[in-house]
Copies of this chain bind each other. A is one copy, B any other.
């Protein structure tokens, strides 16, 4: 018996497979609803040359004002001007984030309205052959496409400040799309990097000429000078027409509206690097923390949602790591006492959102759901206590909003109450 026959035999063995499935049973009400819908005179809707959503689909990325930190503005000089737009993870299906819902943080300025025909990229500094490219020239060069997440280093940082209760508040500053562009190593090779160079400094064309240093070792590894996102040109707020993609590193390294890359032999200590993104408070004096750790979150049921009632639910969520591909996700439905391996239900890519699921029957009693991931370099997502200890805080500090530098990647607990509501169990 071949494997297809075997599958077929197993399939034909009758028996409902979803224990406790409280949905789908044929009823008079259901049959009437089905018949009624077919009878409705459906209105045709227009097909657009560039398609639009159904009017019944209304997901948005809400704007929240950026946390300026102690001292108000903290060296920005533009306090209050920068809203953060978060991805509504609770609405996402699968692993790809639509470009229209990608999270946005821009350090003080709205996206510039750049005409790509006038845009240039300069590569200069410690190189043998300084180069300037038009967009058309870049598009003639070899390109690669990679599905990668971006995550703000402050994603989850402000749980304590705000007593964040919903999924989008705790975790909405991450998104995952397919990026297309020229490998930066190819451009640097073409320019001819001096042997004693050790950093690059990238500059954007936003109002602040946002500037960021990056170790040359990473720049010559897997960085992309990207012009494409999910099959089309970058969106304005995601860096149109050109940006860096620095896989696995804090979002702030992925310089948008990229216009210059200078090859240098030292860290440049640009304004925001010094005023905002050095970690003075780290007891181990790790001034910069580039790579994002392994992280996962249950997106349904999650904070801010309400269950329909006891019965069958597929728990689902996203896992990712700045260090590699997700290898395993475990889920606990009893506050961490026991764990089960979740199923990986979608494509798996290196440094990308990975969708997981686990069948669960809710008995109507209060409980806490958690997820924990492991990546393919062996990193395991930490507990809140482990996370706090690693960065030199206590869990109480965290609850009080003193959780320091960010990089929040602790296990996120969601409390299901008897009233069917779901809340952030860090505070409730």
Identify which of residues 24-46 in chain A touch chain B, using a CB-to-CB cut-off of 8 Å. Answer: 24-27, 30-31, 33-34, 36-38, 40, 42-46
Identify which of residues 6-28 in chain A touch chain B, using a CB-to-CB cut-off of 8 Å. Answer: 7-8, 11-12, 14-18, 21, 23-27
Is A69 located at the chain interface by the 8 A CB criterion? no
Identify which of residues 110-134 in chain A touch chain B, using a CB-to-CB cut-off of 8 Å. Answer: 110-120, 122, 124, 128-134
Is A284 located at the chain interface by the 8 A CB criterion? no
Contact partner of A93 (CB less than 8 A), chosen from B15, B92, B180, is B180
Which size class do A's interface residues fall under?
A: 35 or more
Number of copies: 2
Q: With A96-B230, A314-B142 in contact, is A25–B129 under 8 Å at CB?
A: yes
Contacting residues, chain B, for A308 (C-beta < 8 A) = 136, 140
Provide the bound-state CA to CA distance between A357 and B51, in Å.
Answer: 29
Is A349 located at the chain interface by the 8 A CB criterion? yes
B236 engages A92 (CB within 8 Å): no
How far does the Cβ of A282 sit from chain B's closest Cβ, in whole Å? 25
User: Which of A114, A146, A188, A312 is the most central at the interface, judged by chain B CB atoms within 10 Å of its CB?
Assistant: A114
Is A281 located at the chain interface by the 8 A CB criterion? no
A314 engages B143 (CB within 8 Å): yes
A100 engages B233 (CB within 8 Å): no
User: Which of A43, A49, A359 is the most central at the interface, judged by chain B CB atoms within 10 Å of its CB?
Assistant: A49
Q: With A44-B110, A52-B235, A129-B26 in contact, is A33–B98 under 8 Å at CB?
A: no
Q: Spot the interface stretch: A190-198, A331-339, A369-377, A398-406.
A: A190-198
Contacting residues, chain B, for A45 (C-beta < 8 A) = 110-113, 236
A63 engages B42 (CB within 8 Å): no
Among residues of B, the one whose C-beta sits closest to the C-beta of A357 is B142
How far does the Cβ of A404 sit from chain B's closest Cβ, in whole Å? 28
Q: With A24-B133, A51-B99 in contact, is A231–B92 under 8 Å at CB?
A: yes
A93 engages B132 (CB within 8 Å): no
How far does the Cβ of A201 sit from chain B's closest Cβ, in whole Å? 15
Is A97 located at the chain interface by the 8 A CB criterion? yes
Contacting residues, chain B, for A44 (C-beta < 8 A) = 109-113, 207
Is A271 located at the chain interface by the 8 A CB criterion? no
Q: Using A40-B118, A144-B346 as known contacts, list a sample of 9 further A-B pairs with CB atoms less than 8 Å apart, ordered by residue number in A.
A: A24-B133, A34-B260, A37-B114, A44-B110, A51-B101, A51-B237, A56-B116, A93-B180, A140-B311
Chain A contacts to B: CB under 8 angstroms: 4, 7-8, 11-12, 14-18, 21, 23-27, 30-31, 33-34, 36-38, 40, 42-57, 59-63, 83, 85, 91-102, 104, 109-120, 122, 124, 128-134, 136-137, 140-147, 178-180, 185-186, 188-190, 192-193, 195, 205-207, 209, 217, 220-221, 227-233, 235-238, 240-241, 259-260, 308, 311-314, 316, 343, 345-347, 349, 355, 357, 359
Can you report 13 A-B residue pairs in the complex whose CB atoms are below 8 A from each other? A25-B131, A26-B132, A33-B132, A44-B111, A47-B110, A54-B114, A54-B241, A59-B232, A93-B145, A141-B312, A143-B314, A145-B346, A146-B347
Q: Top 9 A-B pairs ranked by shortest CB distance?
A: A93-B228, A145-B346, A30-B132, A94-B145, A44-B110, A23-B137, A49-B60, A42-B112, A51-B100
